[in-house]
Structure 1
Amino acid sequence: MRLTVALISLAALAACETPVPDSGSGVGFGSYADYQANREAQLIAGGEGSGAGRTASNLDTQAISAEASAAIDAAEAGSAAPTGPAPSAVTNAVGISSENDFSAVSSERSIEEDAALVAANKEAYVTIQPTALPSRPNSDAGIIVEFALSTTNSVGQALYSRLIPGAESRAARNCAKYPSPDLAQEYFLKHGGPEKNPQGLDPDGDGFACSWDPAPFRLAAKR
């Protein structure tokens, strides 16, 4: 009984098995052997890739490829063309004024008018003639330089006796008459200073009139 059931099951499975299609189906031949024989005949007649060996599907594919190539070429040609507005012309180079640009000047006036303008500009020029240099004022600056280098005391350090009542107010009045302490010191030295005190210019007895300071001259001599 068991053997009978097994045989029936095998027969049912065999009936349900899907048959394997012939490898030549779908290519226009009944079997692969027919396809191979026809293929060899085509190779002998025209060779691989010849006009006789091309099928209708290959021709259709080539036609589609040609159309696609033409479409790509047309797209590339269209993209090469400028799409924006045309660039404006350069009217003037950087660093060149309109007066030095012939095209700009010619659009404004003629050559004759430009020559007349140049002549008018030349007539308007004003030439300033050189004049003689002013004379150097007489100065005894060498005196104060020599004196500054010959001393070592600082401003306010008394070296000379000045026992005069009201010396400070008198010095203030007289020092105001000089444009600078240097000129006051020159006068002071030329008229007996520092031992004497002409016009009371050195009330503290340091030898320096009207707060004159010898430090800049000493510093310059050390450099």
Structure 2
Amino acid sequence: VGDFDGMTVIVGYFAPDFLYEDDARLAAAQVGYHWREGAPSGASVLLSYLHFDDLDGLVPEGLSRTNRVSAGRLVSDFELLDLQLVARTEWADWPLELRLDLARNLGADDQDDAARISAVLGDRRQPQQWEIGLAAQRIQRDAVLAAASEDDWWFHSFARGVMPWVGYGFNEHLSLRLAAFEERRDEANDSVRRYLFDLQARW
């Protein structure tokens, strides 16, 4: 590890809590390397492995969402490998972060890939600081466990979409974000458009 670099290792075993009494479990591990931590410019690589188990209760509880189902069970197992590439720098004295997130479900025979790319200029977590961002993603049907994926998006898999947003930090505790979503489910002709106000308080 370099003088200004850092390495992280995280291992955990969790009960995901899918809003019903269940035996679902998640084993997860992540290894990361971070170049020039804390400097205006730097980069990170994060490799994660997530293994979900005992998911039989999702389908009868109506939580399969966009994942495939057959004979009352999920078609695929969910054993995810996730790679994140992050670059940080400054542009016109504003912090700029570029991120690429690639995932593959090793427990699926097909429909197993997902990707998201994002760019964020500014940082609304800082007082009186603006933030402008854009994210685009494509998630195949069984690439992720839909019951546990990102809740800001309307479709949790089996879709593609874009999300531009603007945010502002009022002080060190309070920030606001306005996000717009345009998403289209696979095999559908029409897109879903939504807007989200997100007021966040931190202490």
TM-score range relative to shorter protein: under 0.3
Which of these two proteins has the greater Rg computed from alpha carbons? 1
TM-score, normalised relative to structure 1: 0.15
